Amino acid sequence: MIEDIIALLERVRAVKPLVHHITNYVTAADCANVTVAIGASPVMADDINEAPEITTKADALVLNLGTLSERTLPSMAASGKTANAAGIPVVLDPVGTGASKYREHAAAYLLGAVRLSVLRGNISEIRRIAGLSAEAKGVDASVKDIARSGNDVDTVIKLSQKLKCVVVISGASDVVTDGNRIVYIDNGHPLLSRLSGTGCMCASLIGAFCGAAKDDPFTAAVSGMLCMGVAGELAGESSPGPGSFRARLHDAVFNMDAQTLESMAKLREA
Domain range list for the chain: 2-269
Per-residue pLDDT at 102 exceeds 50? yes
Q: Which helix (H) or strand (E) holds 184?
A: strand 182-185
Range in 78-87, 166-175, 249-258 the model is least confident about: 166-175
- The residues that bridge with 267 in the sheet, in sequence order, are 185
Which of 244, 231, 245, 250 lies closest to 37 in space, CA to CA? 250
Residue 172 confidence class, pLDDT cut points 50, 70, 90: confident
Q: In what order do the strands lie in the sheet with 166-170?
A: 41-44, 18-22, 60-64, 90-93, 118-122, 166-170, 174-177, 182-185, 267-269
Residue 132 pLDDT: 78
pLDDT band, very low/low/confident/very high, at 135 (cuts 50, 70, 90):
low
Q: For residue 184, is pLDDT > 50?
A: yes
Which class in CATH covers the domain with range 2-269? alpha beta
DSSP state, residue 86: H
pLDDT band at 197 (very low <50, low <70, confident <90, very high): very high
Which stretches of 130-193 are DSSP H helices? 143-147, 153-163
Single out the residue of 153, 93, 155, 158 nearest to residue 125, CA to CA.
93
Q: What is the DSSP letter of 66?
A: T
Contact 213, 191 (CB under 8 A): no
Going by pLDDT thresholds of 50, 70 and 90, the confidence category of residue 131 is confident
Give the pLDDT band (50/70/90) at residue 167: very high
State yes or no: pLDDT of 130 exceeds 60: yes
**What per-residue confidence (pLDDT) applies to 151?**
55
- State the chain's mean pLDDT as an integer: 92
Range 228-254 average pLDDT: 96
What pLDDT sits at residue 33? 97
How far apart CA 193 and CA 174 sit, in angstroms, is: 13
Residue 143 has pLDDT above 50, yes or no: no
Return the C-alpha torsion angle 186, 27, 36, 214, nearest 10: 70
> What mean pLDDT is predicted for residues 104-114?
95
Can you tell me the mean pLDDT for 99-121?
94
pLDDT at 138: 47
Segment holding 27, helix H or strand E: none
- Which DSSP category does 178 fall into? S
User: Global pTM?
Assistant: 0.93
Give me the sign of the Cα torsion angle 91, 95, 98, 103.
negative
Range from 12-16, 151-155, 226-230 carrying the lowest mean pLDDT: 151-155
Of 120, 121, 126, 118, nearest to 216 by C-alpha is 118
Cα–Cα distances in angstroms (integers) from residue 46 to residues 27, 67, 113, 153, in the given order: 14, 12, 17, 34
Q: What are phi and psi of 266, to 5 degrees?
A: -120, 80
- Over residues 52-83, the pLDDT tens digits come to 999 999 999 999 999 999 999 999 999 999 99
Question: pLDDT at residue 240 above 90?
Answer: yes
pLDDT band, very low/low/confident/very high, at 153 (cuts 50, 70, 90): confident
